[in-house]
């Protein structure tokens, strides 16, 4: 079972102990350190309304508000799309990722305005969840025919970007990044979680 997210300061301290431990190879340490230190500037692809909608969607999908604020998956997605760092493929009936996400966010917000007279970000959590359920089902009335694959692509991208961050990995007890001693060695939990496991 995943370890609960504790106070952010404690989580940061545990992650820092991991990053300075001998459990990681230098190459892995450099990648995780870069992710830990990454901060995103103003969005380059999404406009203000799209970014506001995206952040509201993320707040419904990822309930760990403190971690979301630090990891900033919305900023990470914007940066990844600008740099064309996708997964290298797309559905034949979907537009390129940059266009797909912009269309999906615009359509979700437009649907909120049409149905409830308010932007998606200003809706109640219940109404946001109702619209996201329709989007997840690919409802053309919610996300538009062209963006029928949007929610699936968004969810995959957010999962990848969020769980790649070392703070999130430590918060759920993931130890797959401990590559310095091979799979026979145990004991990362001792560094990251201060448990009684030896290593």
Residue range 156-191, pLDDT digits in tens: 999 999 999 999 999 998 888 888 876 555 555 555
The pLDDT of residue 189: 52
Mean pLDDT, range 11-20, rounded to an integer: 92
Q: Report the share of the chain in percent with pLDDT over 70.
A: 82
Residue 2 lies in a domain: no
Residue 3 lies in a domain: no
Residue 1 lies in a domain: no
Residue 198 lies in a domain: no
Q: What is the pLDDT of residues 30-41, one digit of tens each?
A: 999 999 999 999
pLDDT at 64 over 50: yes
Residue 47 lies in a domain: yes
pLDDT at 84 over 60: yes
Residues 40, 34: Cα–Cα separation, whole Å: 12
Residue 95 lies in a domain: yes
169 Cβ contact partners less than 8 Å away, ≥ 6 residues apart? 163, 176, 177
- Structural domains of the chain, count: 1
CA angle 35, 153, 62 (to 5 degrees): 55
Residue 103 lies in a domain: yes
Residue 185 lies in a domain: yes
The pLDDT of residue 148: 65
The pLDDT of residue 184: 54
- Its pTM surpasses 0.85: no
| Highest-pLDDT range among 3-7, 84-88, 159-163, 183-187 | 159-163
Domain boundaries, position 14: 8-193
């Amino acid at each position: 079972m995943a370890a609960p997210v504790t106070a952010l300061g404690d989580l940061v301290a545990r992650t820092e102990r991991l990053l300075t431990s001998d459990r990681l190879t230098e190459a892995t340490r450099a990648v995780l350190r870069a992710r830990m230190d990454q901060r995103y500037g103003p969005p380059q692809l999404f406009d203000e309304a799209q970014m506001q909608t995206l952040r509201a969607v993320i707040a419904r999908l990822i309930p760990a508000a403190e971690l979301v604020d630090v990891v900033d998956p919305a900023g990470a997605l914007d940066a990844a799309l600008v740099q064309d760092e996708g997964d290298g493929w797309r559905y034949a009936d979907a537009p390129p990722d940059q266009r797909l996400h912009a269309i999906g966010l615009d359509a979700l917000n437009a649907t909120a305005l049409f149905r409830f007279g308010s932007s998606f970000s200003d809706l109640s959590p219940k109404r946001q969840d109702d619209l996201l359920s329709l989007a997840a089902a690919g409802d053309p009335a919610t996300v538009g025919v062209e963006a029928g694959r949007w929610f699936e692509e968004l969810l995959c991208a957010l999962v990848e970007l969020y769980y790649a961050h070392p703070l999130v990995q430590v918060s759920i007890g993931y130890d797959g990044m401990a590559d310095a001693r091979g799979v026979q060695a145990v004991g990362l939990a001792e560094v990251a979680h201060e448990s009684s496991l030896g290593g």
